[in-house]
Amino acid sequence: MTKSVVITGSTRGIGYGMAEEFLKRGCQIVVSGRKQEDAAAAAERLGQVFGSDRVLAQACDVGAYDQVQALWSAAVEQFGKVDIWINNAGQAQAIQKFWETDEGLMESVVQANLLGTMYGAKAAIRGMLAQGFGELYFMEGRGSNGAYAAGMALYATTKRGGNYLFESLVKELKGTPVKVGALSPGMVVTDLLTRQRADDPENWESTKKIFNILADKVETVTPWLVENILANEKHGAEIRWLTRPKILWRFMTASFNKRDLFEEELVEG
């Protein structure tokens, strides 16, 4: 049976890459972004390759619950159900001391990364419980595991909060027809890490070396993520691309395996 998938923040980057991979595997996709024109443009590109009847564009600011609920409703109206919902939308920040962070940025990052994740979870869970099935996935990022990240207190705090919500829902939804999982793509070359080059040029050369060892391109990571999502049957699954053994192996082989990912622009997932 064809699966219907909603991915928030899927007009570019990892979200768009996952949408493309789901379509390659026969799924139906709802593409969303803050602006309808961005969602429509992304959906048109995908529709030209995979068929416009399998792609729906729907604007959604995840920080506004009525828009998140409208995203669910649009997906159900178009495809009759939602099998998979991925909370991917989020907002990055420049590397900076917490006390120097603008209050407006604090509000918008918390609104998108934490409240938006909560809103997405609420809308998806309520809808999936009503329809009797479904899978909800959280996108992890720097700070999700509680590890300290210099200059990233705002962003990392929201990601840590999202991880707590994930762990709570694993327990709360036990025994229900709704599965919850977490996705960890690691460091991915998209348009979210290039900011680091612009915002922290003094430290860029040293941090670039780490990224060249650990980061990967969207087209490398997203097929693996999607394959594992579609194969997953476990409630509480944590689907991790960059595992500890993989990190160790990359550092051990770094001197033999020269990589330069910065011929194109990089961003962190």
Query: DSSP secondary-structure letter at 98?
Result: G
The contacts of residue 191 (CB under 8 Å, 6+ apart) are 12, 13, 265, 267
Helix or strand run (H / E) with residue 217: strand 216-217
- What whole-number distance in Å separates Cα of residue 52 and Cα of residue 138? 27
One-letter amino acid of 93: Q
Residue 67 CA to residue 168 CA, distance in Å, equals 24
**Residue 36 contacts residue 59 (beta carbons within 8 Å):** yes
Q: Which amino acid is at 165?
A: L
Alpha carbon distance 55, 43 (integer Å): 6
AA letter at 120 = G
Residues 45-64 as b or e (16 or more Cβ within 10 Å = b): bbbeebeeebbbbbbbbbbe
Asked about 155 being catalytic, the answer comes back as yes
Residue 113 DSSP symbol: I
- Out of 16, 119, 137, 155, the active site residue is 155
Catalytic residue ranges: 155
